[in-house]
Amino acid sequence: MEYSVQMTFVNEIGDKVSLTLGNIRPDVTQAEVRALMDAIIAENIFFSPGGDYKTKYSAQFVQKQVTKWDMV
């Protein structure tokens, strides 16, 4: 099973900007993601054409299961 967190922020001009982090551990908590989003905003570490990330908009935890079949 693969896990990721999709986070959406609002930048200075009001546009929504999404960021996805893969290889997340399966027991990550909402509080940890909230703290991560706060740190991303506070540290201003990502570029957005519409300006700095200003507020949190949403976040979601995604589980993906892939089954590969050998066709040879």
DSSP, residue by residue, 19-31: EEEES--TT--HH
- How many domains does the chain divide into? 1
pLDDT of residue 66: 86
Is residue 38 one of the residues assigned to a domain?
yes
DSSP-assigned states of every residue in 48-63: -TT-SEEEEEEEEEEE
Is residue 21 one of the residues assigned to a domain?
yes
Residue 33 domain boundaries:
2-64
Is residue 53 one of the residues assigned to a domain?
yes
Is residue 69 one of the residues assigned to a domain?
no
Residue range 24-53: mean pLDDT, rounded: 95
**Residue 41 pLDDT > 90:** yes
β partners of residue 56: 9
Q: What is the pTM of this model?
A: 0.86
